[in-house]
Chain A
């Protein structure tokens, strides 16, 4: 199994996972690799490391995809000079195109308002509203909300064969689905509108008089805030419904069989539980779970070796430098412990997830900041089973 097989027939690939596991890196690799296979691909990245962004030719936030200049892919690459297999040539696109954008949540939000508002004046009034400003720039929710919004928008056009969505840093992999729902819940404003009209259905259904609710709200939040919210929702008016519709359309899109959810995970403790929980949550929401990429994996290079024997052999190899040999042996023991742990975790993951495809990407020595780094990961995600095994064997050398 490899990424092209996982993504056969899919138009959307969502890379989810908890903070710092490699979502942005993996999204870039998938974009690169699929473009190299002739597809028109757009990667929606969120807050990439500066050096990686530069490597992709993205130097500022933008709300429109930009074509990634192929010539840039070669910077930092020296083809034909002993690069490991699967680097330069493999990632040069044949007929494909790679596009990328760095999501600008605030701008995306403003664009949404501009598009939905009946008049320019109304749009301006909304954008000037304090509650709107808080909403559109709040960390909690606005990245998630605008990311799926952008995905939806791009999916409506035929410009791309594949959209790869990187997801915002979050504590858990499903936050990017839940946060937009919370925000839409607010924008949709049914609860608030029910309050504004005290005879509203919502209030009566719950069997609670509106008066205590309203006064309770005042008691809790202070008057000014309530009137701010009411003004804001008044301004939004029927637009609120537009947001509701859109949210439902996004849900439908994510649920479609043309979408693939990939979980990016680390082999560290806790990732198993997370993966299992992620799989179950997706299933509950009827969302298509397609595979797990276990990133930063430590491969067991040589199996256990008695420390004493190893020290002796290393001393010989290092020209009798016992002190150095001991430290090398200790380093090996530490590495081996990690490898054993990762291996056990991967096994447990396999058992718990059953049929779900699993791909492991090794921990490299340096951060992935350029195209040759991406190419190295590419070899693991896009190669065949046999090619991967051959690569892992060369890790020793």
Chain B
């Protein structure tokens, strides 16, 4: 089993808003810092803006937003020959294809797969050592992971079935593809992570790492909390703008929040053991966040 960053494809999923994009960027940056040629691919369930260009973010670090429609057009041009380019420009065909259950997900995954090939199919496409997929939230993310298999089974003939089967095989290859779940220590995200692990297991896949994001380590013991509470009580009635009281109550809050997280963090540790990586809540500006996350990840991986 290779180390996480030595996979060719890392699929990052998790409940909405838990930090998938942030962790995907952190992983991508870390991979690039270690000398890999990395692309972060945002796999969007909807397509606000079209386009499928590979953008250079930094040395060795690229970004692509995978729009299923653009992915389809590209696929048609490469595979479909003359008919393909007619289809690529047909609005009717696009509507049809986009509405066909699962086809959007399949096309997105097809593009991801293409990015991860050493022999790229697109003209002047250079190979990447690592593709980090910023996948949609759990439900959609699992759908995307599963679609190739489902398609390969449903559409038994034709090139897409063969293509879907190839993608499905790649996804199921543990040395090639890794799946990372991001979560925060709250009831719903943790529950989703646990059930994600079960769902993947049913498909013969596993979670290679679970990132506990926005983790708040306990900074105050129970005794210290009492000490702080007593000091706060001694200042009562609190006059407005009392900075000491403000600091004391902020400390009590921080402890309460860390305590509230503990039960959930324990459940994750029990299930995932050393596959669990903690990334603290970093109150950085957006630019500083990715390096800080990369730094936190390097310690945890």
Contacts and interface: CB of A to CB of B under 8 A. Distances in A.
Interface of A: 18-21, 47, 49-51, 130-131, 134-135, 138-140, 169-172, 175, 178, 182-183, 185-186, 191-192, 194-195, 202-203, 206, 208, 212-213, 215-225, 228-229, 266, 269, 301-303, 305, 310, 313-314, 317-319, 321, 324, 327-329, 331-332, 334-338, 341, 365-367, 369, 393, 395-397
Interface stretch (B4-12, B29-37, B242-250, B292-300): B242-250
B154 A393 contact: no
Interface string B63-104: 000000000000010001001101100111101111111111
Contact of B90 (A19, A134, A206, A310): A206
B101 A331 contact: no
A222 B155 contact: yes
A216 B96 CA distance: 12
B248 to A, nearest CB: 6
A301 B250 contact: yes
A18 B249 CA distance: 30
B160 A221 contact: yes
A19 B238 CA distance: 38
Contact of B17 (A19, A303, A317, A338): A19
A389 to B, nearest CB: 11
Interface string B18-53: 100000000000000000000000001110100000
A222 B286 contact: no
Nearest to B289: A269
Nearest to A143: B139
Interface string B113-154: 000000000000000000000001101101100000000001
A74 B48 CA distance: 45
B249 A397 contact: yes
Given A139-B139, A212-B83, A225-B154, A303 B160 contact: no
A355 to B, nearest CB: 26
Contacts of A220: 76, 80, 87, 97, 158-160
B160 A222 contact: yes
Interface in B246-280: 246-251, 253-254, 256-257, 260
Contact of A213 (B16, B92, B143, B220): B92
Interface stretch (B54-62, B172-180, B202-210, B223-231): B223-231
B145 to A, nearest CB: 12
B160 A301 contact: no
Contacts of A206: 90-92
A385 to B, nearest CB: 18
Contacts of A321: 227
A367 B260 contact: yes
Given A178-B46, A223-B158, A328 B251 contact: yes
A221 B158 contact: yes
A106 to B, nearest CB: 14
Given A134-B102, A191-B96, A310-B243, 15 more contacts: A21-B17, A49-B188, A140-B139, A169-B16, A216-B93, A220-B76, A220-B158, A221-B100, A222-B154, A266-B17, A302-B243, A305-B247, A310-B244, A366-B257, A397-B245
B137 A171 contact: yes
A313 B238 contact: no
Contacts of A224: 154-157
B224 to A, nearest CB: 6
Interface of B: 15-18, 44-46, 48, 76, 80, 83-84, 86-87, 90-93, 95-105, 136-137, 139-140, 142-143, 154-161, 186-189, 191, 219-220, 224, 227-228, 231-232, 234-236, 238, 240-251, 253-254, 256-257, 260, 283, 286
B268 to A, nearest CB: 16
7 closest cross-chain pairs (CB), A and B: A19-B16, A222-B155, A20-B17, A186-B99, A302-B246, A139-B139, A222-B158
Given A135-B101, A171-B46, A219 B159 contact: yes
Nearest to B247: A332
Contact of B242 (A134, A219, A302): A302
B100 A225 contact: yes
Contacts of B254: 331, 334-335
Contact of B251 (A131, A221, A332): A332
20 contacts: A20-B15, A20-B16, A20-B17, A20-B18, A49-B187, A138-B101, A139-B139, A171-B16, A178-B46, A206-B91, A217-B97, A223-B158, A224-B157, A225-B155, A301-B249, A324-B227, A327-B251, A328-B251, A331-B247, A366-B256
A229 to B, nearest CB: 7
Contacts of B105: 140
A58 B241 CA distance: 43
Nearest to A182: B99
Nearest to A212: B83
A301 B246 contact: yes
A133 to B, nearest CB: 10
A386 to B, nearest CB: 15
Which among A18, A266, A319, A335 has the greatest number of chain B C-beta atoms within 10 A?
A335
Which among B76, B95, B156, B191 has the greatest number of chain A C-beta atoms within 10 A?
B95
Contact of B234 (A50, A202, A317): A317
A94 B96 CA distance: 52
A212 B86 contact: yes
A310 B231 CA distance: 14
B134 to A, nearest CB: 10
Contacts of A194: 92
Contacts of A331: 219, 247, 250-251, 254
Contacts of B160: 219-222
B243 A216 contact: no
